[in-house]
Structure 1
Amino acid sequence: MISLLLVDDHPVVRDGLRGMYSADPRFEVVGEASNGAEGIAMAVALRPDVIIMDLRMPGSDGVSAIRALAERGIPSRILVLTTYDTDSDVVAAIEAGATGYLLKDSPREELFRATEAAAQGETALAPTVAARLLGRMRRPSGGGLSQREVEVLELIARGSTNREAARRLFISEATVKTHLLHAYTKLGVNDRAAAVATAFSRGYLSHDNNDE
C-alpha cells in the first residue's frame, strides 16, 4: 500500500482526492495540508511514500516546498497536481525535485498510474507537460528568442501587420521590425512565414495560444 500526503489549499480538492484514493486498496491517505509550510511539517513527521502537491498556494507555494523537502533529504516522492502547465511552472517544479507533473483534469486511472510510478521513483508527466519540456530542449542554446520577440511572433502568427503589432505592444513599428530581424537571425530564417513556422516547431509558439 502506497502512503500519501495531500497538499492543496482547496478543501474540496483534498476531499475529492482523499475519497478517490481511499476507495482504492493500493493507496492510503495518511495526511493533508493546506499550504507548502504545512506540507513540509507533515512530510517530515509522516514520511509518506508520495506527496501530491499543488503549486500555487497562499503563504508557501509548492515549488518552495518541493525545494525545501529536497534540501532536508526527505525521501518522499513528489507528484505535482495542478491546473498550470506553463514553461515556468513546469521547469521550476522539475528542477526543484518533483518526480512527476500532472494536471487536475487528468483521468483517475492516469493519476493512479502516475502515483504508482512516482512511488517507484519513475517520472510521470502529463502529455502537454512532456511536450513543453521537449520543446524547450529543442530550442537552440545561447540563442533563444527573447520574450518580446516571442510576443511579436505570436501577433504575426495571428495575422497582425507590423503596424498592428506595434500598436498592440505599445512600441514603434521600427522596434517591431528590429525584433523580427533579431528573431530571423536566431531562427536561421529570412522571412515572416518561415520565422513563425520555425518558432512553432521549436516550441516557442503554441497553437492553443494563437487561436482566437
Structure 2
Amino acid sequence: MGYSRAGFDVVGVDINPQPRYPFRFIRGDALAYFATLGVDSDLELDVIHASPPCQIYSMTSRLHKTTEHPDLVGPTRELLVATGLPYVIENVPGAPLIHPVVLEGQMFEGLRTQRKRWFETNWPLDVPFLRSPRPAPNAKMGRKPKPGEWFQVVGNTADADGARKAMGIDWMTRDELSQAIPPAYTELIGHQLMQHVQQGAAA
C-alpha cells in the first residue's frame, strides 16, 4: 500500500494465495520469478521490493536455535543485483542485510507499534529523525495495551482492530498483521525511490 501511495503501480508475487491483497497478484515462487525478469516475464518493472522469510533471523528462532526455516536473503540479493534494477530488501533486525537503514514506529506520526525493521537498498535512502527518542513501552506480547503502551502485533494479538489501527492497516487478518510492516514505512521509501527513478530517467 505504501508504494501505491507514493505513485507506483504495484504487482505482488507470493508462493501462497493472498486473497486480500489489494493490487495485482501473481502466485508463484518469487525467486523463480525474479530469475525470469527480462527473459520470460511479460512485466517490465522499474523497481523491486523483496521481503524474504524472516523467521530464521527472528529473536525467537535465535533463542531456540531453530533451523527449519529457509535462509533466503543471500539468494534474493543475488537475483536482484542481476536484474540491474533499484531494489529494496526488508527484514527483521539481525537479518544479514548490507548496511541496512532502520525504520521504526516512533519515526511516524499516528503509529502505535515499534515494529523495527531493516531495509537494504542499492540506492541512497534517507530516514527521518526519531519523533521521540524514548518510545512508549510495549504491551506484553499479544495483550491489549494499557494507556500509554504500544502494541506488540503478533499472531495471537487479543485486539485485532486495535492492532490494525496501530499499524495503519485496515484490510488484513490478525495472522496477516503479524507478518506485515506499516505502510508508512514503504510510503516513505517509495517517495524517495520514485525520485531516484525519475532522476535516472532524466539523466
- Normalised TM-score (structure 1): 0.35
Q: Which has the higher Rg, Structure 1 or Structure 2?
A: 1
Q: Which has the higher helix share?
A: 1
